[in-house]
Structure 1
């Protein structure tokens, strides 16, 4: 079993938050945990600050598969689909990590290859949108077959855990993270005699390859969002997307399943 005594905390270094974290650091040390300053030395990475901070912690620490991630919200009113703990009850978190039967949850990750040159991982979603006040045109290929010609504001490709965010706001489906798949959703598509799209989200098996070919019509500098960051790549011609073999392992409290979190957040 993985040794779980070296903790790395990922958070915004603000005086008010550090003041709240210091008692947690002391309590963790009193119970045999070591607080490390380099995430490479940790076997548990703890993000503090909600789902956005959790996504950043995974990205900034390199999508590590040899450690566990967990998320901590900073207030009672802040919900999080990636966060099991709350900072106001940090004593419960330490007790749970020491004494309760923690389960490991595995979240799928998609890999995006840009222009057949650079690859990036996404835990939540990838989005491609126009930077100009005009529509963007994308030829959509599934495996080697051209599926549709899209014209509109953009496309979202979401992992199962990312399906509750940007994807859901566009009427995409919420997907069980135990399914190895990814979902494609449209942003304000135009349907006419020239451009015809499915008009709804669709879900692809993890064995599929999605290839987005940007039509070079002057709108050649789209915004490419990877989770909650924009990539500084200017001329994007193609984006090839696959479900990665990589998974992110997170700590799951007993009786706190993904669907319990979805219910708590939205219902």
Structure 2
């Protein structure tokens, strides 16, 4: 097994990385930051998102392990004081993994050129100044004309972020689907949208055709000023992200821990 380390620059993270390097060397585990079989991230969920965009596509069987320097996150299973335990689990590794769906986003320019992106959490289309005006298609069918601040399209694991704040449902990652939620849509006698989140399964697409010369697209942590883009299409990606499942926490346990753990304990 070849292991890469990906971390933020916080002092606590750097200290943990130093410990990890020492433990990996003592256990004879090879380090390879270019072509790894497994990536250990040290930081938070944002750090793991960065590692995903750095390494996805390097190896179709690549797995990730998240070590959190604070509280456990949605993608991180180990805490900073568990370096020895984490490395011990690597020694006993037999390739177990749990896989989550990803979002594929394709932008199309007026001349037909297309660019593809992958998102682990979500993508958004916004009009930073004024109102976003766009036609939204489900497959080839014009579904609605949208007016508002924007739309967000989330993976199941990303459904607990911006999507949830927009009133979207929390989806279990075993469901291979994407979800579109509206960001401050305008609904009155003249303009009308569905007003509810849409969940679209594998094999179907959501296409947004903004009626602007430029607008803002986000893809996880990436921001794109879209110019001369005539449409943006979203679908469940064929590629999936894999996590080493040494003690991968149940998704609903993560949701409970993130949002209602104290209340549950009080009961």
TM-score, length of structure 1 as denominator length: 0.89
Work out which of the residue numbers 57, 70, 74 in structure 1 matches 2:65: 70
CA RMSD of aligned residues (A): 1.8
Give the match for residue 50 of structure 1.
44
- Give 1:129 shift: 0.9
Q: 2: distance between equivalents of 1:251 and 1:26? A: 21
1:5-28 Cα offsets, whole Å, 9 max, x none, are: 211011124555323321221111
Give the match for residue 118 of structure 2.
121
Q: 1:61 and 2:58 equivalent?
A: no
Work out which of the residue numbers 62, 70, 77 in structure 2 matches 1:84: 77
1:42-76 Cα offsets, whole Å, 9 max, x none, are: 1001111111111110111234423111111112x
- Given that 2:186 and 2:192 are in contact with CA atoms closer than 8 Å, whether structure 1 keeps it comes out as yes
Aligned length: 255
Q: 2: distance between equivalents of 1:100 and 1:61? A: 20
Give ranges in structure 2 of 5+ residues lacking alignment: 261-267
Q: 1:105 and 2:98 equivalent?
A: yes
User: Cα gap change, 1:257/1:14 in structure 2, threshold over 3 Å: closer, same or farther?
Assistant: closer
Matches within 5 A, 1:124-163: 124-132=121-129, 134-163=130-159
- Give 1:82 shift: 0.7
- Give 1:176 shift: 0.8
Q: Secondary structure at the match of 2:90?
A: helix
Between 1:60-69 and 1:169-178, the stretch displaced more is: 60-69
- Given that 2:122 and 2:153 are in contact with CA atoms closer than 8 Å, whether structure 1 keeps it comes out as yes
- Give 1:110 shift: 1.5
Q: 2: distance between equivalents of 1:182 and 1:16? A: 35
Give ranges in structure 1 of 5+ residues lacking alignment: none
Matches within 5 A, 1:177-216: 177-216=173-212
1:126-174 Cα offsets, whole Å, 9 max, x none, are: 1011121x11111110011111111000000001111011111111100
Matches within 5 A, 1:227-266: 227-254=220-247, 256-266=249-259
Q: Secondary structure at the match of 2:100?
A: strand
Q: Secondary structure at the match of 1:83?
A: coil
Q: 1: distance between equivalents of 2:57 and 2:32? A: 18
Q: 2: distance between equivalents of 1:37 and 1:60? A: 11
Q: 2: distance between equivalents of 1:54 and 1:255? A: 15
User: Cα gap change, 1:245/1:221 in structure 2, threshold over 3 Å: closer, same or farther?
Assistant: same
Q: Secondary structure at the match of 1:244?
A: strand
- Given that 2:182 and 2:197 are in contact with CA atoms closer than 8 Å, whether structure 1 keeps it comes out as yes
User: Cα gap change, 1:262/1:100 in structure 2, threshold over 3 Å: closer, same or farther?
Assistant: farther
Q: 1:226 and 2:219 equivalent?
A: yes
- Given that 1:131 and 1:221 are in contact with CA atoms closer than 8 Å, whether structure 2 keeps it comes out as no
